[in-house]
Amino acid sequence: MIRVAGIQIAPIFLDAKKTWEKLAYYIREAQSEGTDLATWGETLIPGYPAWIWASNIAKWNDTQQKITYAKYWQEALKLDQSEIVEAMKTLAKELGIMLMGGIAEKEGGSIYCTLLTISKDGVMLCRHRKIKPTYSERLVWADGDGLGLKTYPIKDVRVGGLNCWENWLPLARSALHLQEEIIHLAVWPGSLSLTKDITRFIALEGRSWVISTSSLLRPTDFNHLDEDKFPFKRVMESRTRSWQNGGSIAVDPTGKIVAGPIVDKEGIIYVDVDPMVAIQERQNLDISGHYSRLDIFNKLLQNQSHILP
């Protein structure tokens, strides 16, 4: 058995250090319950850029957008220089727990939506940058690459993950299926409308255990901010309901919901993964093996010059 914990919390918005301190508390709590692998929502550190849906993000040369972007960049993590990343590695090693969760990563003047994976020995295995930010996200996050489309070992099985709507990309899912993924972690900004259907779909398609973990973001989560550095504070506080209501949920390889969903509150979902359940379900449909038919599909893809060079 492999125990997976999906940590659903709100960030201390645009404060990476305090958000990490809060997350570390929950990771310790999860480990005390026997967790082997902990995950959390998309760009929880330092928060999902929810202002893009409440402001005219596409307005050219807008001072408020520039100020907000700069603050977000300032709080994003530079992987080879971040004290928070080093603290993550230290905590993973101390607790003997694998971590895979969302951060905003910066390189140069650009920001990436990144899924970070750290082994239980405290080694950063890889970073996966979201391949294509969705809609208005593209004015905050840069395009990612395929470097992190990998699965990683945990107790002799493989775990992989994707950010938000990447989970709808057939070729992204296939890249992980074909690496014998047994556990799939899907990280989200936070909405049951996002997680309730695709989580079951991925589980049934891949015959995998799927844990979708989201963040929360409520109007009160902006109260601590300085309006000079976050000009959209008032509009974000004025909403009468949550910007992100969570929706963390877990599904087994038969499509059965086994944990959650959690909505409009912080908490942890726990899933005890039995890898053999996935293997049993792959007796009749195995996208990682006999049902993949790579002998056919590789040739088709190679012949599509507009898709592959």
Active-site positions read 42, 130, 164
Residues 6+ apart with CB under 8 A from 280: 253
Cβ atoms of 71 and 79 closer than 8 Å:
no
Backbone torsion region of residue 14, taken as left when φ is above 0, otherwise alpha when ψ lies between -120 and 50, otherwise beta = left
Q: At 188, give phi and psi (nearest 5°).
A: -135, 155
Cβ atoms of 211 and 269 closer than 8 Å:
yes
Nearest to 15 by CA among 23, 3, 26: 23
The token pair that represents 180 in the structure block: 């014998």
State how far the Cα of 91 lies from the Cα of 98, in Å rounded to an integer.
Answer: 10
State how far the Cα of 47 lies from the Cα of 19, in Å rounded to an integer.
Answer: 8
Cβ atoms of 87 and 81 closer than 8 Å:
no
